[in-house]
Chains A and B, each alone.
Chain A
Amino acid sequence: MARPVLMFDSLSCCEGCGLQVINCETDLLPILAAADIGRFREASDGDVPHYNVAFVEGSIVTSHDIEKIQEIRAKTDILVALGACATHGGVNMLKNFQDPDDVARYVYGERRAWVPHIPARPQKAEVKVDAEIPGCPLNPAEFLEAATCLLMGKPFRLPNYPVCVDCKLADNVCLWHKGVPCLGIVTRAGCKPYLCPSAGHKCIGCRGLVDKPNTQAAKDVMAEFGLTVQDVLREFRLFQGIYDEVSKEA
């Protein structure tokens, strides 16, 4: 088999996921030995006409982003969305719950007319995405696992269970039992060893929901905990504005 050509690029985001890939450091060497890098916006110059696998971070917040992701899609065999912005719209989705003119004014200021801003959306809203690695930022271990699967020609699967599983296995005392509402109960696992609750911080849901979350139970438990619907939506909208349950007005 010919050496696969990889590319890394970014739409609207902080490019933290690209940095996380670079942070894999020596772990990247076997990948570099097995594949060529056709383009890597965060790390080098240059481009090639065709890629086998494109890893693209960032969400779509302007019509320029749509053009860019369509161009990449046309040039690549496989498109992998990297990180929360790419997979779920990320924190950029927060603007969808605010007045668009206000957002344009405080984000782009005087030159807001120059920017063709549109409601934020994940990459899969515009093009076919073949695999997703969620998280803000992505977990380097999971990126390496996905890369290994690609090199082996084996399907890459995300864990389909909530953060609670890994949190309990880390022997953490549940944050709910310390009076802190934590979104780990419905958020997809896969962040270990970077579990926020292990550092005493609640899960803020950056990896999106598990496939079949019990949203009814989540509402009940949060209500019993004394949280209002507005509180709950605020918690969820940080990263999960993409879901119907969260985006609907209360």
Chain B
Amino acid sequence: MLPLVLNKSDLGAWIEALAAQRRVAAPVLKETSPADRTDLKFGWEYIADPAEVRLDYTVTVLGPKKFLWPARQTVMSYQIGADPRPTAVLDHEPHVLFGVHPCDVTAIQTLDAAFSKDIADPHYLARRADTAIVSIDCAAPCDETCFCLDMGSLYPEAGYDVMLTPEGNRFFVEVKTPLGEALVEKAKVRPATKQDMQARQKFAEEKRGNFHFQLPFEVKYLPEILDASYDSLVWEAIARRCFACGSCNTTCPTCYCWDVDDDVAVDLTKGCRVRRYDSCQLDPFAEVAGGENFRKDRSSRLRHRMFRKGKYILDQTGRSGCVGCGRCERACVADISIKETFIQIAGSR
């Protein structure tokens, strides 16, 4: 499809038109620090009004993953008694994730791969099939925790239906899929002119210049670097500061571990089987029947997470378990940084 342009003033009307067909989830402003008015906190929500959408957002605690893979999800309902009638619950509706950053687009591709391999996960895939993704390109890193350039998530080749690139008072609109074409039909777009394309080029050059940070090693060697570090004392040293609070997992856009509980009604006539996020950093994660725990120490759990993010998920799905979004570091009260940890183990081999 030819390159298109949407004036920023026409964005609201487009979102309004999309909202008539799908629920729209987008980044919104959640709070402003009373001490510093420029310190804005954004979050992902289903919106009621296009004016809420903040495509100039930076970081969010939770990413758009929560719309595809809710923290708590009923997967089955049943009756208690002779006739249990178990019924699978597939809970989904058409929605559009509007304004997904490239790192989260890449993370969703990892989730797609993880939930499709071996036994495909019908709950995730039903929601995913009902999801449209409009991505918004980043002109600069959200903050100093990002290392998306290294983790290959700054320039996603796929995983979105439409990509918007903000430049001045317009967005460049790149349509990637037939679904994207259908979405853009509702937008007041026009073909890009030569001047538009020059501005697009300028954006790309500035973007490249704004992402300064680079790991001191090539990321393709990360699995090997991790392998060589398995018995390193680094893990214990870092874990001294770890609360094992699971905030890194809870906020990670690619973590997909879950646990299952039964939620039984107090009158004991019926129940639901519910799955919820689990976290490999929590003490009971690797506890098995009989009370044995094969990852008792915080250090072994911390090492496990770093291996999942840098190696295991890649080995299993072909896609990286870390997209360099910086959420885990930002969420950590003890300032444990996955980026710094990778650098440290690379240097201590």
Contact = CB atoms under 8 A, between A and B. Distances in A.
Interface residues of B, number: 38
B30 interface: yes
Given A168-B250, A211-B283, A217-B334, A161 B245 contact: yes
6 contacts: A151-B266, A160-B284, A162-B243, A162-B245, A164-B246, A164-B247
Given A152-B264, A174-B331, A185-B333, A165 B33 contact: no
Ranked nearest first, the 8 interchain pairs of A and B with the lowest CB-CB distance are A30-B267, A164-B245, A168-B250, A30-B266, A162-B245, A161-B282, A169-B71, A176-B333
B54 interface: no
B247 A148 contact: no
Interface string B272-290: 0000010100111000000
A165 B282 contact: yes
A221 interface: yes
Contact of A164 (B66, B243, B298): B243
Interface of A: 27, 30-31, 33-34, 144, 147-148, 151-152, 160-162, 164-165, 168-169, 171-174, 176-179, 184-186, 210-214, 216-218, 220-221
A171 B250 contact: no
A161 B259 CA distance: 14
A21 to B, nearest CB: 13
Contacts, number: 105
A185 B298 CA distance: 14
Contacts of A165: 245-247, 250, 279, 282
Interface of B: 30-31, 33, 35, 41, 43-44, 60-62, 66, 71-72, 240-247, 250-251, 264-268, 277, 279, 282-284, 298, 330-331, 333-334
Nearest to A185: B243
Contact of B265 (A30, A172, A221): A30
Given A171-B62, A176-B333, A210-B283, A161 B246 contact: yes
Given A165-B250, A220-B334, 7 more contacts: A160-B282, A165-B245, A168-B246, A168-B250, A168-B331, A179-B35, A217-B243
A174 B60 CA distance: 11
A148 B264 contact: yes
Contacts of B267: 30, 33-34
Contact of B242 (A173, A176, A211, A214): A214
Contacts of B33: 178
Contacts of B72: 169
Nearest to B266: A30
A186 B267 CA distance: 34
A171 B242 contact: no
B266 A218 contact: no
Contact of A173 (B41, B243, B245, B284): B41
B283 A161 contact: yes
A101 B53 CA distance: 61
B291 to A, nearest CB: 12
Contacts of A33: 267
A1 to B, nearest CB: 12
Contact of B266 (A144, A164, A168, A221): A144
B251 A186 contact: no
B241 A148 contact: no
Contacts of A218: 243
Contacts of A185: 243, 245, 333
Nearest to B39: A178
A151 B268 contact: yes
A221 B333 contact: yes
A217 B247 CA distance: 15
B244 A214 contact: yes
A137 B267 CA distance: 24
Contacts of B44: 171
B241 A221 contact: yes
A31 B333 contact: no
A144 B268 CA distance: 12
A161 B30 CA distance: 26
B266 A161 contact: no
